[in-house]
Amino acid sequence: MININIFYNIRKNMPQFLKMLFPKFLKKKIKKKLFPYYYQVTDYEKLPKYNYINNNNIRLQENLIEKFKVDNKQNSITSCPHLINLLLMKYKPDEKFSFLDIGGEYIDFFLVLKKNFKNVEYYVFNLESINKDCEKLKDKYNYMNLNVIQDEKSIFKNNYDFVNFGSCIQYFENYENFLLNITRVANQIFFSGTILYDSHNENHKKHIIVKQLNVYPSINYLYFFNKFYFYKFFYEKNFDLLFECKNLTDNVNFKNFNGIFESVEYKDFSFIKKNPQKFVSEGF
């Protein structure tokens, strides 16, 4: 069996001038052939302290605003292109509700959300650098319903009708404690682009930590979650599974996990609280 680490180490250590010699189409073919896997197993017990890095900037955000003015749609990358449609099945266009976007990154999602739901109260929490950019955009463009949460503790001072985890919970070192607090303040919780596996191996009872390779030269580390344990957590907090489906935004190759898990999948799923209350939000 070929050790895939060899190929990834060669790519990592290849001088930049050699990389520049390959035409773009050839790079894509080489990447698809030699680097087909997005994730690699590690023996880590904790996520590295300095992990996910923000590569975006406020100029990119302002470009998205300008594009939205032209075509009135979301142009940024998203792990759930049909999220607005899901919300339209639940809320009327003039209905008041609070929406917490954990890991919310791109301003044009907020703009699309406001276009479809004029009375939504939007909250966003992300890395400090992204939060600062959101604050600047709020001041510059007078986005009154854009509430930027600057620290984790402040998240749990409010109640939310809908909480969106846009493919980000897997990067939270303290995900269990974070989710415990979220279940106390949320009616519905939606996860997109999250990797769940089935396994009876005691070493994989809750989660494993993997290295993310598909965003090279950046290297991230994240959790894969045991589906049974992850769902059980919400059932015990008085939540029901509303739906689950395969996430179709990317065709992730999990063949290098054959023999490690019984099954593994890139999924969207949502939990709803039994007997939910309607929260009236006043914003910040």
Q: What is the DSSP track for 145-156?
A: TEEE--SHHHHT
DSSP tag of 238: T
The average confidence (pLDDT) of the chain is 88
One-letter amino acid identity for 243?
F
CB 48 within 8 A of CB 223: no
d(CA 167, CA 268): 9
Q: What residues have CB less than 8 Å from 186, skipping those under 6 apart?
A: 100, 159, 160, 161, 162, 163, 273
DSSP for residue 47: -
Give me the pLDDT at residue 142, please.
96
Q: What is the pLDDT of residues 193-224, one digit of tens each?
A: 999 999 999 999 999 999 998 877 788 999 99
Spatial CB neighbours of 162, under 8 Å, sequence gap ≥ 6: 87, 90, 97, 98, 99, 100, 186, 187, 188, 190
SS3 (DSSP) at 255:
helix
pLDDT surpassing 50 at residue 109 = yes
> Residue 72: is it exposed, middle or buried by C-beta count within 10 angstroms (0-12/13-18/19+)?
exposed
Answer yes or no: is pLDDT of 23 > 80: no
Residue 17: pLDDT band by 50, 70, 90 thresholds? low
Contact 218, 55 (CB under 8 A): yes
Q: Which pLDDT does position 284 carry in this prediction? A: 52
| CA quadruple 128, 63, 120, 235: dihedral sign | negative
- Exposure string (b/e) for 52-70, b if CB count within 10 Å is 16 or more? beeeeebeebbebbebbee
DSSP bridge pairs for 191 = 165, 269
d(CA 193, CA 266): 6
Q: What is the pTM of this model?
A: 0.86
Rg of the chain, C-alpha, whole Å: 20
Q: What secondary structure letter does DSSP report for 81?
A: T
The tokens describing 260, both together, are: 């490690």
Least confident of 2-6, 16-20, 69-73, 155-159: 2-6
Q: Could you count the other beta carbons within 10 Å of the beta carbon of residue 124?
A: 23
Whole-angstrom Cα distance, residue 265 to residue 196?
Answer: 6
